[in-house]
Amino acid sequence: MPRAYSLVTGGAGFLGSHICDALVHKRERVCVIDNLSTGNIDNIKHLMDNPLFRFVNKSIVEDSTIEGLIKECDIIYHFAATVGVKLVYEQPLTTILNNIRSSEFVLEMASQYGKRTLIASSSEVYGNRRGSVRRKLREDDDIHIPHGKRWCYATTKALSEHLAKAYHAENNAAIVICRLFNIVGPRQTGTFGMVLPRFVEWAVNGSPIKVYGNGKQRRCFCSVRDAVDAIVKLADLQSASGHTFNIGSDKSISITQLAMKVKRITNSASDIVYIPYQETYGPDATDVLDRVPDISKIRKFIDFEPSQDIDSIIRDITDHYLAHNARKDRR
């Protein structure tokens, strides 16, 4: 029986590269298309000599290339996107065009050639709606995305979801949508505004740990290992077609508590400093006070339960950061 052949768009990125690892570990064939605009070749370098793995260094919106790859594959993991709060604020036009065009290409051709597709969406689509231990965010909640530059990314993800649902409704396309809540772990970079790798980098280097806002914002952090396991299972599950799933942990922590944990676990002498959110992102910038997912739906489909707590996640990220720096020093 021939091995399954997966196409991973954005597969040189943090999440995409971990998906590639999981699929190759299952002895499946994998092709990555990534233009390395936010991905990193180091994330997949260890796979380059594996006969099951192929890398195409091109933009996903080069339709002739992506069409040929989609024709060949059995399943698509669509993770190509412009991401990160910092990058979104700095390049809103690039964010909108890249994310919408890439989803449009992938979904149109996946539908045309009958390819099962898993679409990576984001908790950002919930906008500024507050979650809490009493009111967790459900997949069937109404979506209300605010105005403002920060929310252009959320809008692109919401539109990608609508496109996916439309192809499923009208063309019976096999689509699964995953709304990801702060997936974190080794290989994630703080370059584009991801909070946990930035905290670790600052703490390890003895730099001030910068908390934007008052630090009372609450977030839930899920290990990339747990998230990827769920993503691959959902992609293979026929009954998941047409459904949207929250993927993340439902255990929240304040950003100040997170900074304190990072400082303790890394044995850092760094100070924790507070910077007004608007001072960094502009006078119209808004942050979300709390965002906690309801994960009861995914639990019913694949018996999902995050296995790593925040302390072990911080240790994993710290170990990876130190090892990566040691390799750079030896070059």
Q: Which of the residues are catalytic?
A: 153
User: Token digits for 181?
Assistant: 């809540």
Give kind and range of the element (H or E) at residue 32: strand 29-33
Residues 6+ apart with CB under 8 A from 305: 299
- Judged on CB neighbours under 10 Å (0-12, 13-18, 19+), 63 is middle
Q: Would you state the structure tokens that stand for residue 127, as one six-digit string?
A: 């906008």
Are 172 and 211 within 8 A, CB to CB? no
Pair of tokens at residue 275: 């910077």
For 172, left (φ over 0), alpha (ψ -120 to 50), or beta?
A: left
> Considering only CA atoms, which of 187, 129, 123 is closest in space to residue 320?
187
Q: For the CA atoms of the chain, what is the radius of gyration?
A: 19
Q: What are the helix (H) ranges across the chain?
A: 14-25, 63-72, 85-90, 92-113, 152-171, 195-205, 224-236, 255-265, 277-281, 296-302, 310-330
Task: State both tokens at 33.
Answer: 């298309």
8, 20 contact by CB (below 8 A): yes
Rounded Cα distance between 202 and 81, Å, is: 26
Residue type, 238: Q
For the beta carbon of residue 275, count every other beta carbon within 10 angstroms.
12
